[in-house]
Amino acid sequence: MDFESIRRQFPIKSRMVYLNNASIGPLSLPVIEAVNRFLADVRDNGRNNYPKWCDKADNHIKERIAAFLGARRSEIAFVKNTTEGLLIVANGIDWKPGDNVIIADIEYPSNVYCWMNLKRRGVTIRWIKTRNGRFNAKDIEPLIDARTRLVSCSSVQFLNGFRVDLGQIGELCRRKGVMLNIDAIQHIGALALKVSDYPIDFLSAGGHKWLTAPIGTGIFYCRQEALERIHPANIGYHSVRDKSEDDIEYDLTLKPDAGRFEEALVNFPGVWGLDAAVEIIAKLGIRRIEAHIMSLNAAAREGLLARKYEIVSPSDEKQRSGILCFRHPGIATESLWERLHQARIHLAIRGGALRCSPSYYNDGEEIEAMLEALP
């Protein structure tokens, strides 16, 4: 599979220049076909293929996702979005009054409210004070004390595209005996990430951005060794060991893997689409995708600087990501956005800047079109 042929699978390309993948990625034809295949199966067969669906979801699709993330199949659960994964962790830890959690002051609200909500259980938040939207392990270390249970951060920040140093932060957490929880929705599908390379305990990512999977899908990773550190707050008939369907001998013995976090039927139609999307990304190769996206953003950066725009996102190569935020020193961001919008070029506004987020199906001509349309 190559970048050229995959572009033809994205009908959106004939309609507009879409550079807003950090908000919602458009669906490709193979993903829609996969969703429809599942729906047609239910249309034609009702529940008859249910055992096959479970086998496919739990064994084959989780296997593909696990391989993609450098995880084990048993460490993967399906969730409906990133927020659900964050909540599994927040509501699953056996907090004691006086415990604390460390987060940065620029996190997406999903990675804030779930911790704020623990106030009633006596848990406090210790805020990483970012400098110009950046932070590192040295900013976190002084915040850790004997009652710190967890550091929770996005590996790529939605506001400015800042990519955190997972190696450094992971090493700090391991040294201090603190759990590490990662919101990776702005990371996976755009940049390579192998969870086995870092001491990450939990990771969550919705499918609907860089993975170009349907809305309502997501991945939750729970490292095998961390499984017993959280107790599922939501328990249902899927959380427990498999039994025959007519068995009502209730036995709350949890599944021995991350499947315990799926309390009931998962979003099979969406998960079929997620599988097709991950298959495309895996076939293209995430390292090639990362190089492609980084080169599109590098071209955008160069053109913007030549036109005297200010780049808000980090310039340090190691801190760059699929997100490139910029603004003009003299022209309001809203009017730039409107101008691009009129030209059918779609970006987002975040933190008062334009946020450009090209994906694997975008190309250099689209970056050129954006540059040409800007004053």
Residue selected from 58, 183, 257, 262 as contacting ligand PLP according to rule CB under 6 A: 183
Strands 353-356 and 348-350: antiparallel
Shortest Cβ 138–ligand PLP spacing (Å): 23
Question: What is the contact mask toward ligand PLP in residues 95 to 134, using x (rule: CB under 6 A)?
Answer: -------------x-x------------------------
The interface region with ligand PLP, picked from 81-89, 174-182, 193-201, 312-320 by CB under 6 A, is: 81-89
Q: Does residue 158 belong to the site contacting ligand PLP (CB under 6 A)?
A: yes
The interface region with ligand PLP, picked from 162-170, 178-186, 319-327, 343-351 by CB under 6 A, is: 178-186
Q: How many residues bind ligand PLP (CB under 6 A)?
A: 12
> Rounded CA gap, 135 and 163, in Å?
10
Residue (178 or 213) nearer to ligand PLP, CB: 213
Residue selected from 25, 214, 218, 269 as contacting ligand PLP according to rule CB under 6 A: 218
Q: Does residue 370 belong to the site contacting ligand PLP (CB under 6 A)?
A: no
Shortest Cβ 209–ligand PLP spacing (Å): 7
Residue 189: left (phi > 0), alpha (psi -120 to 50), or beta?
left
Q: Does residue 322 belong to the site contacting ligand PLP (CB under 6 A)?
A: no
Shortest Cβ 183–ligand PLP spacing (Å): 5
Q: Does residue 160 belong to the site contacting ligand PLP (CB under 6 A)?
A: no
Question: What is the contact mask toward ligand PLP in residues 184 to 203, using x (rule: CB under 6 A)?
Answer: -xx-----------------
Q: Does residue 267 belong to the site contacting ligand PLP (CB under 6 A)?
A: no
Residue selected from 21, 83, 181, 319 as contacting ligand PLP according to rule CB under 6 A: 83
Residue (356 or 374) nearer to ligand PLP, CB: 356
SS3 readout for the chain: CCHHHHHCCCHHHHCCEECECCCCCCCCHHHHHHHHHHHHHHHHHCCCCHHHHHHHHHHHHHHHHHHHHCCCHHHEEEECCHHHHHHHHHCCECCCCCCEEEEECCCCCHHHHHHHCCHHHCCEEEEECCECCECCHHHHHHHCCCCEEEEEEECECCCCCCECCHHHHHHHHHHHCCEEEEECCCCECCECCCHHHCCCCEEEEECCCCCCCCCCCEEEEECHHHHHHECCCCCCCCCECCCCCCCCCCCCCECCCHHHHCCCCCCHHHHHHHHHHHHHHHHHCHHHHHHHHHHHHHHHHHHHHHCCCEECCCCCHHHCCCCEEEECCCCCHHHHHHHHHHCCEECEEECCEEEEECCCCCCHHHHHHHHHHCC
Shortest Cβ 321–ligand PLP spacing (Å): 11
Q: Does residue 25 belong to the site contacting ligand PLP (CB under 6 A)?
A: no
Residue (9 or 217) nearer to ligand PLP, CB: 217
Residue selected from 133, 170, 199, 206 as contacting ligand PLP according to rule CB under 6 A: 206
Binding footprint of ligand PLP on the chain (CB under 6 A): 81-83, 108, 110, 154, 158, 183, 185-186, 206, 218
